[in-house]
Structure 1
Amino acid sequence: MDEKVIIKKIQQGSREALGMLWKSHSTNVLNLAFRMLKNRDEAEDVLMDIFVSVPGKIQKFRGDSALNTWLYRLTVNECLMRLRSKKRHAELEEEHIDLVTDSALGSKHEEQKDYDPELLEIGLSKLSAETRSMLWLKDAEDLGIKDLSEIYNMPEGTIKARLSRARTVVKNFLQENLNYA
């Protein structure tokens, strides 16, 4: 079913359309929430909260962005709210660390895969949860700058600058601790 049709049907109260949305997007929402919160139970709570709120919030959805971009934005906002309230920082999931490492260290890293994933996670913990999630969505989920701009409600230039600074922070940390030249 077409995305616009699904949106329209959900706006009209269709549980079937909401089920279709769940089927096609719940895994991505759960994965993003888990990567931000590093807690499966909390990520599942966020997933449920997002999908319980969709019927009400989708009434205001104008269709200016893709549906998945809108869902990512809801997810990021919910996770950041939870992180702020608990004053803790999330770390990226280790299974996709290579993507972020390659992004931070560039082609030289391709030849030197002897980094310590735990050290990389420490380097990533130097970033705010919002910046880590931004880096994750860009490098691991392959979202474009325009999509990130919509998700975080920031100008594209700000997104680019934050990603660049984040990669520099991680790269410098790893260079200091692993003697990457």
Structure 2
Amino acid sequence: MDEKVILQHLKGGSREALSLLWQAHSANVLNLAFRMMKDRDEAEDILMDVFVQAPKAVQGFRGESALGTWLYRLTVNACLMKLRAQKRHRELEEEHLDSIIEEALGKGDLKNENFDPELLEKGLAELPAESRSMLWLKDAEDLDVKDLAEIYKMPEGTIKARLSRARTFVRNYLSERRENAKKELNYVY
């Protein structure tokens, strides 16, 4: 069924439309929630919250973006609210981080240096949850800046700047840790 038709039916309160939305997007919503929360139970709670909230929230949705993009926005908001309430910022899962690593470090750095994925996770954990989720959506989920601008309700230039700052932070974090490790090695010998 066409997204515009699903949207019309969803705004009309159709359970069938909600079911179609669930079938099409629940796996992506769960995946994003898990990436942000790093906990399966919390991600499942977010998934349920998003789809419980969707019938009411859709009334304000103008249809200027895809339904999937709109659901990502609901998911990011729900995750950020939960993280703020718990005052926790979790790390991203190591799995599928290659694209984030390549964007943050450059493709050649992975081959030329002894790369430590745990160190990268620690660096990513230092970022605010919103920056981690932006990196994930851009680099691992391959969303474009326009979609991110819609999800985060920010201008594209702001998204680009935040992505750049996040990558620079991660690059500097890793560089500092490597330099400290080299100094410690030189001190021992």
Classify the TM-score, shorter chain: over 0.9
TM-score by length of 1: 0.94
Aligned to 1:31: 31
Aligned to 1:51: 51
Aligned to 1:119: 119
* Residue 135 in structure 1 maps to residue 140 in structure 2: no
Aligned to 1:74: 74
Give the Å deviation of 1:113: 6.7
Amino acid at match of 1:67: L
Give the Å deviation of 1:176: 2.2
* Residue 11 in structure 1 maps to residue 11 in structure 2: yes
* CA distance in structure 2 between the aligned counterparts of 1:125 and 1:163, rounded to whole angstroms: 15
3-state SS of paired residue (1:161): helix
Report if the CA contact (8 A) 1:91-1:125 is conserved: yes
Q: Deviations over 1:10-32 (max 9, x none)?
A: 11222121111101100110011
Aligned to 1:153: 153
Aligned to 2:186: none
**Identity rate of aligned residues, in percent?**
67
RMSD, aligned α-carbons: 1.2
Amino acid at match of 1:28: N
**Paired residues, number:** 179
Q: Deviations over 1:1-47 (max 9, x none)?
A: 11111111111222121111101100110011111111110110000
Q: Which structure has the larger Rg?
A: 2
* CA distance in structure 2 between the aligned counterparts of 1:142 and 1:99, rounded to whole angstroms: 9
Q: What runs of 5+ residues in structure 1 fail to find an aligned partner?
A: none
* CA distance in structure 1 between the aligned counterparts of 2:145 and 2:26, rounded to whole angstroms: 23
Give the Å deviation of 1:91: 1.5
* CA distance in structure 1 between the aligned counterparts of 2:30 and 2:64, rounded to whole angstroms: 23
TM-score by length of 2: 0.91
* CA distance in structure 1 between the aligned counterparts of 2:23 and 2:137, rounded to whole angstroms: 20
Amino acid at match of 2:38: K
Q: What runs of 5+ residues in structure 2 fail to find an aligned partner?
A: 180-189
Give the Å deviation of 1:141: 0.7
Query: Following TM superposition, where does structure 1 have runs of at least 4 consecutive aligned residues deviating by more than 6 angstroms?
Result: none
Aligned to 1:22: 22
Give the Å deviation of 1:60: 1.5
Amino acid at match of 2:70: W
3-state SS of paired residue (2:92): coil
Report if the CA contact (8 A) 1:115-1:178 is conserved: no
* CA distance in structure 2 between the aligned counterparts of 1:29 and 1:112, rounded to whole angstroms: 36
